[in-house]
Amino acid sequence: MDPGRRRVHRGLTVPGVEPVDVILPCLDEASALPGVLAALPDGYRAIVVDNGSRDGSPAVARRCGAMVVCEPRRGYGAAVHAGLEAATAELVCTIDADGSLDPAELPQLVEPVRCGRAELGVGRRVPSGHGAWPWHARAGNMLIAALLRRRGVSVHDIGAIRAARRVDLLALGITDRAFGYPLELLLRAGEAGWR
């Protein structure tokens, strides 16, 4: 990192920049967390939601400057919801803590939401090498995204990198606390007429 740039951790702000809270659901990601957290753009505050790690992930996240929330209920949706409840910024993002997605892409998802051109920004995964994203997961994702588009939800990936306003996400009333959370989010957003 350029020595002139300041990394923004929980509670710190950059003058003139509205902070964005980044929710990172986490289960045994101690080895990936330092790189993921270091890659967050300035003004993006990490909220690592630990979902029962046994590898010291919470301690690693704290050492890297992240706020840590421990969510005892297992499930992706439970972790994301706990992060939403802990967030204080108007704008929030969700990204996996495993290093499979690039945090540098977050501002591209946030900007349309910040400017009012969209209610939800959803990233699109691109396989980076053989075996990086198994064919069956890719095929399932493509099928579900195609079905969502037929229902008027303009997405190409139901993936785990998103941006929205915190209060709007909570108002959707998503109830799935397991791995159906991203799909329910997109369905409810479509029903609500989100762009």
C-alpha closest to that of 168 among 62, 91, 54? 91
Q: Specify the pLDDT at position 149.
A: 62
Q: Specify the pLDDT at position 8.
A: 39
C-alpha closest to that of 175 among 75, 66, 42, 101? 75
Helices (H), 2-96: 33-38, 57-63, 76-86
Helices (H), the chain: 33-38, 57-63, 76-86, 106-114, 135-150, 166-171, 181-191
Domain architecture of the chain: domains with CATH: 20-191 (3.90.550.10)
Contact 61, 33 (CB under 8 A): yes
> Could you give the CA distance from residue 101 to residue 128 in angstroms, rounded to a whole number?
10
Residues forming beta bridges with residue 163, ordered by sequence position: 93, 121
pLDDT in tens, 94-103: 999 998 889 9
pLDDT in tens, 20-65: 999 999 999 999 999 999 999 999 999 999 999 999 999 999 999 9
Confidence grade of residue 2 (pLDDT, cut at 50, 70, 90): very low
Q: Specify the pLDDT at position 173.
A: 95
